[in-house]
C-alpha cells in the first residue's frame, strides 16, 4: 500500500474512533445535565405546589383552585403537573411545552429511560380530592442536548474533512517529485546520465534529489572521461603502431639488408678462396645481428614492460634510456636508482611514470638533460619511494592543454596510495615530475642496500647539474 493511502486510511480510521469517544463524553455529560435540570425543576415545582395547596380552604371551591394550580404549570419546560383522584385516575393535567425540534426516541430512551414521578398529597382538609402528581419532562433538555451534539459532530466531521484534504494535498505535492526521481533513475539505468530531478520538494527529500543529481552528474563526467580516454587510447595505440613500424623499417631494415648483402658475398669469397674475407663478412653479420637484438629488446621493453621488469626496475629504465638515446643522442639522460626493485607493483607504476615523463620531456620540452632519480626513504613512516624525473627543457607552456599522460601518471600513483606532482623545475627551466609511492613492507628490510647498478649513471657521462631536487 502506498504511503499516501496508508496515511489517509489512518486518518479515516481515527475519525470514527474520535466520534465514538466524543459521543460517549457527550452522553455522560448530557445524562448529568438532564438529571440536574429535572431535579431542580421538580424541587421548585414541589415547593410551589405544597405552598399553594396549603392555602386552599375546603369551603371556597377547592376543585377550581386545584384546577387553576395545575394549569399554572402549562408550558413548563421540565415539569408536568396532574391532579390525581384517590382511585388513581387522572382528573386534570397541565400541558407541558412541546420540544421543537423533537429529539430521536433512541436518545430519549438512553438519557431518560424511567420518568421521575413525585406524588404530593393534598392537605388533610382536602385530601379526599386526591393528590398532585409531578412528572419530570426531559424532552426539552434532550432536544437541546441533541442539537448541541449535532453541531459538535458537524464541526468534528468538517475538521476531519479539512485535515484529510490538507494531508492529501500536502502528500501529493511532497511526493510528486518522487515519481520524477523514479523516472530519472530509470533513465540512468538506461544509460542517460543527463537525467535531473528538480529540488523543489520538502527538505528531507531534497537531500535525496541533490545526491541523485550529483551522482548523475558524476556518472556523466565519468562517461565523458571514459570516452576521451578510449579515444586517447586508440590514438596512443595508433601512434605506437606507427612508431613500431618506423622502428622496424629504420632500425632493423638496414641491418637485414646488410646481412643479406654480406651473406651473398660469402660464396663468391669462398670460390676465390679468400677465407680472410669470409671471416670478416661473418663477423659483420654477427655485428648486425647484435644491433638488431638490441633494437628488438628495446622494442619489446616498450611493448611489454612487465617482462622487462623481471630484470629489475633499474634495468628496465636502462632499456628506456637506451631507446631514447638511440633516437635523441644529443639528450643527456641520467638515472640514479638506489634499488634494483621496490616490489613488483611499485616497479610497474614507477616504470610507467618514468616512461611517460621521458616521452613528455623529449616530445614537448626539447631538453638538453633529463635526470631520473629513485630513492627509497626507509626512515620515513610509512616508507616511501621518492621518484623524480626532471628536465631542463622549455617547461609546460601555460597555453598547453592538459592531456591524459599526466592524468594517467597521477591515477597510477594514487591507485597505489601515492601522490604525483608536476611542477616547473625550481632551478632552471623545464619540468619536475615528483612521485611519492608507499613502499610495501619488506622492501626496505630486504633490499635496503643500493643496487649500485646504474647509480648516477649518465649516458653522456656528464653530471645532471640543475636537475637535483
Among 360, 388, 425, 458, binds Mg ion (CB under 5 A): 360
Which lies closer to ligand ADP via its Cβ, residue 60 or residue 398?
Answer: 398
- Does 395 bind ligand ADP (CB under 6 A)? Our answer is yes
CB of 242 to Mg ion, least distance (A): 16
Q: How far apart (Å, rounded) are the C-alpha atoms in residues 81 and 89?
A: 14
Binding to Mg ion by CB under 5 A, coded x per residue (else -) over 394-433, reads -----------x----------------------------
CB of 468 to ligand ADP, least distance (A): 17
Among 30, 34, 132, 431, binds ligand ADP (CB under 6 A): 431
Using CB under 6 A, count the residues that bind ligand ADP. 16
In the region spanning residues 4 to 43, those forming contacts with Mg ion, defined by CB under 5 A, are: none
Which lies closer to ligand ADP via its Cβ, residue 400 or residue 449?
Answer: 400
Q: Could you say which of Mg ion, ligand ADP, none residue 377 binds, taking C-beta under 5 to 8 angstroms by partner kind?
A: none
Q: Which residues contact 302 (CB under 8 A, 6 or more apart)?
A: 240, 320, 323, 355
Of 18-26, 293-301, 306-314, 403-411: span binding ligand ADP (CB under 6 A): 403-411
370 touches 361 (CB < 8 A): yes
355 touches 433 (CB < 8 A): no
- Does 418 bind ligand ADP (CB under 6 A)? Our answer is no
Binding to Mg ion by CB under 5 A, coded x per residue (else -) over 241-270, reads ------------------------------
In the region spanning residues 325 to 384, those forming contacts with ligand ADP, defined by CB under 6 A, are: 360-361, 364-365
- Does 396 bind ligand ADP (CB under 6 A)? Our answer is yes
Q: Could you say which of Mg ion, ligand ADP, none residue 394 binds, taking C-beta under 5 to 8 angstroms by partner kind?
A: ligand ADP
Among 62, 136, 312, 393, binds ligand ADP (CB under 6 A): 393
Closest CA to 361 of 324, 335, 326: 324
DSSP secondary structure code for residue 104 in this structure? P
Which lies closer to ligand ADP via its Cβ, residue 243 or residue 310?
Answer: 243
Among 33, 406, 447, 453, binds ligand ADP (CB under 6 A): 406
- Does 305 bind Mg ion (CB under 5 A)? Our answer is no
HSE (CB half, 13 Å, CA atoms) of 236? 14
CB of 302 to Mg ion, least distance (A): 15
Q: Please identify which residue in the block is written with the cell numbers 597521477.
A: 410
- Does 403 bind ligand ADP (CB under 6 A)? Our answer is yes
Binding site for ligand ADP (CB under 6 A): 360-361, 364-365, 391, 393-396, 400, 402-406, 431
The residues of the shown chain that bind Mg ion, judged by CB under 5 A, are 360, 405
Amino acid at each position: 500500500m502506498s504511503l499516501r493511502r496508508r496515511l489517509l486510511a489512518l486518518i479515516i480510521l481515527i475519525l470514527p474512533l474520535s466520534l465514538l469517544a466524543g459521543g460517549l463524553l457527550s452522553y455522560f455529560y448530557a445524562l448529568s445535565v438532564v438529571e440536574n435540570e429535572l431535579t431542580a425543576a421538580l424541587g421548585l415545582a414541589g415547593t410551589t405546589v405544597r405552598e399553594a395547596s396549603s392555602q386552599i380552604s375546603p369551603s371556597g371551591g377547592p376543585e377550581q383552585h386545584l384546577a387553576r394550580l395545575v394549569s399554572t404549570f402549562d408550558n413548563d419546560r421540565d415539569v408536568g403537573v396532574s391532579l390525581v383522584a384517590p382511585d388513581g385516575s387522572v382528573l386534570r393535567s397541565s400541558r407541558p411545552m412541546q420540544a421543537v425540534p423533537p429529539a430521536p426516541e433512541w436518545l430519549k430512551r438512553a438519557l431518560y429511560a424511567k420518568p421521575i414521578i413525585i406524588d404530593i398529597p393534598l392537605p388533610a382538609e382536602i385530601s379526599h380530592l386526591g393528590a398532585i402528581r409531578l412528572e419530570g419532562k426531559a424532552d426539552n433538555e434532550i432536544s437541546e442536548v441533541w442539537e448541541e451534539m449535532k453541531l459538535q459532530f458537524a464541526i468534528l466531521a468538517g475538521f476531519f474533512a479539512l485535515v484529510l484534504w490538507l494531508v492529501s494535498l500536502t502528500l501529493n505535492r511532497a511526493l510528486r517529485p518522487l515519481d520524477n526521481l523514479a523516472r530519472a533513475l530509470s533513465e540512468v539505468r538506461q544509460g542517460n546520465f543527463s537525467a535531473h530531478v528538480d529540488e523543489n520538494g520538502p527538505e528531507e527529500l531534497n537531500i535525496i534529489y541533490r545526491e541523485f543529481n550529483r551522482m548523475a552528474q558524476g556518472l556523466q563526467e565519468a562517461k565523458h572521461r571514459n570516452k576521451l580516454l578510449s579515444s586517447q587510447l586508440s590514438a596512443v595505440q595508433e601512434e605506437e603502431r606507427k612508431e613500431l613500424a618506423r622502428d622496424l623499417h629504420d632500425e632493423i631494415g638496414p641491418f637485414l639488408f646488410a646481412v643479406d648483402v654480406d651473406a651473398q658475398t660469402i660464396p663468391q669469397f669462398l670460390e676465390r678462396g679468400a677465407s680472410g674475407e669470409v671471416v670478416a663478412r661473418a663477423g659483420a653479420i654477427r655485428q648486425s645481428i647484435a644491433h638488431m637484438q638490441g633494437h628488438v629488446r628495446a622494442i619489446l621493453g616498450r611493448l611489454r614492460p612487465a617482462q622487462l621488469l623481471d630484470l629489475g626496475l633499474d634495468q628496465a629504465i636502462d632499456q628506456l634510456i637506451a631507446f631514447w638515446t638511440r633516437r635523441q643522442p644529443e639528450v643527456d639522460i641520467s638515472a640514479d636508482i638506489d634499488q634494483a626493485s621496490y616490489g613488483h607493483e611499485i616497479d610497474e607504476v614507477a616504470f610507467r611514470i618514468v616512461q611517460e615523463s621521458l616521452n613528455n620531456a623529449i616530445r614537448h620540452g626539447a631538453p638538453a638533460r633529463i635526470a631520473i632519480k629513485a630513492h627509497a626513504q626507509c626512515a620515513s613512516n610509512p616508507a616511501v619511494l621518492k621518484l623524480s624525473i626532471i628536465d631542463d627543457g622549455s617547461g609546460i607552456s601555460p597555453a598547453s592543454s592538459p592531456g591524459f599522460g599526466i592524468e594517467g601518471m597521477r591515477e597510477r600513483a594514487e591507485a597505489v596510495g601515492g601522490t604525483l606532482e608536476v611542477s616547473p623545475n625550481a632551478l632552471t627551466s623545464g619540468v619536475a615530475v615528483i612521485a611519492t609511492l608507499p613502499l610495501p613492507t619488506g622492501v626496505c628490510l630486504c633490499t635496503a642496500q643500493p643496487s649500485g647498478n646504474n647509480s648516477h649513471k649518465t649516458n653522456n657521462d656528464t653530471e645532471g647539474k640543475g636537475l637535483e631536487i
